[in-house]
Chains A and B, each alone.
Chain A
Amino acid sequence: MRLSLYVPGNSWVHRLDPLTKLIMAVVAVILVFVLPGYWASAALLAVSLGVLASGGVLRRSVPVFLGVSLIAITFFVVQGLVYPGNQHPALTLGPVTFYQEGLLLGLKLSLRLYNILAATLVLILLTNPSDLVESLVRRGVPSRFGYVVVAVLQMIPNMAATTGTIMDAQRSRGMETEGSLWTRMRAFIPLMGPLVTSSLIATEERALALEVRGFSGNRKPTFLHEEVIPPYAWAVRALYLAALILAIAGRWIG
């Protein structure tokens, strides 16, 4: 079991340094809110999907997109029915009427949702999270923060692996994990308690181990890996920042 959805590979997006990919994601997310109209949003979505496709992860992003489709459907239903600006009925199904303005707003919100998702998937699917953390620590983010994030990434799979053991252990002692809502609610504490207590007790040991290795030292740490920034990364950064400036300038004038 892994927490991260990162897909290792060797495409041009994989070879970009993490900071460039962070810039790509942040710029694309800002553009979602800066670009006006449906066509610009659709074009942005196409660009983000193009990046994902060229990184070879388009298929891996489908489950993520499907996962939020219920939210997108809610946008259409809720806004189509009750958006305060609704005036022109678009279609009537039995007793309910969907309005044109609300449905268009639903489209806008769905585009926004998928745009944010597609933009951040560049980071999620194509960037190794610990590389991203390392690259940020290199640029002045406190190394303790770096430790915290990397520790989460390592700890969660271990903790998740013990959940099965705890569940089996408590079941074998007669704990009900099925049945009424109250029964299932009550089962939560005997499941959660041992895990929380044992992991909190383990923190003391881990803190000691870190102390012994100079965790609270004030020396500047060095890095295990050399950072490689491919030459085209600068072009990508320039392209994205130029798009951002153009879009903001266009918004200002338009």
Chain B
Amino acid sequence: MVSRRYSPWALRFTTLTIVLIPVAVGINYIGKLFASALKLPLWLDSIGTVLSGMLAGPWIGAISGAVNNIVFGITADPISFWYLVTSIAIGLVVGYLAFTGWINTFGRAVVLGFVVALVAAVVSTPLNVILWEGTTGNVWGDALYTALMAKGWPVWLASFLDELVVDVPDKLATVVISWLIYRALPKRLVGLFSGRNEVESL
């Protein structure tokens, strides 16, 4: 029996989950900071969005994603505002799949990583085509785009693959890292955010 409380789409808007949103955005930022401090060839800037989806479901995940891009859009990086939809989609997908059992094992988390990468690429491609005629601004992706276009591939497909080669390693690493952190969290905390905790609630 699945009660309403356990549905992935249940609205988990408690004070605790609202406080989780700014923390998620902060984690996104710190992920990016550590990634550049370690000189990793990845952004790893959506760990917080992914974690908030895993902890509190699709709605909080989506809002964390949206707030992330809004805040950076008005403070530091105006282009990030345009990719708001991508962040929302990542939060929704992770939240939904996390609450339907796709983070139970490592193998499933890897699948989730590929799904997130695919969704991110599908959502970002129209933006890339409309705004920049298909390029992403990432050197490796754009090199592939140039090679494919030179062979006469259609813009949409070349642009999708341009985004996908960049997204697959990044989002896969993001989801796997988030999953490893999620597994290591105290069980009490996990129960508190998801509203599955029988004893304590806020």
Contact = CB atoms under 8 A, between A and B. Distances in A.
A125 B1 CA distance: 54
B127 to A, nearest CB: 12
B110 to A, nearest CB: 15
B67 interface: yes
Interface residues of B, number: 60
Contacts of A49: none
Nearest to B25: A152
A120 B20 CA distance: 28
B45 to A, nearest CB: 12
Interface in B127-171: 131-133, 135, 137, 139, 142, 145-146, 149-150, 155
A14 interface: no
Contacts of A203: 16, 19-20, 23
Q: Which 8 A-B pairs have the closest CB atoms?
A: A120-B78, A82-B149, A151-B22, A71-B137, A207-B16, A4-B75, A184-B38, A152-B22
A149 B34 contact: no
Contact of B185 (A74, A144, A200): A200
Interface in A139-190: 144-145, 147-149, 151-153, 155-156, 159-160, 163, 167, 177, 181, 184-185, 187-189
A210 B23 CA distance: 15
A5 interface: yes
B133 A109 contact: yes
Given A5-B76, A151-B22, A192 B15 contact: no
Interface stretch (B2-10, B92-100, B111-119, B176-184): B176-184
Contact of A192 (B47, B139, B145, B192): B47
A16 interface: no
A123 B185 CA distance: 38
B192 A159 contact: no
A211 interface: yes
A127 B150 CA distance: 44
Contact of A159 (B29, B74, B149, B186): B29
B41 interface: yes
Nearest to A6: B75
B102 interface: no
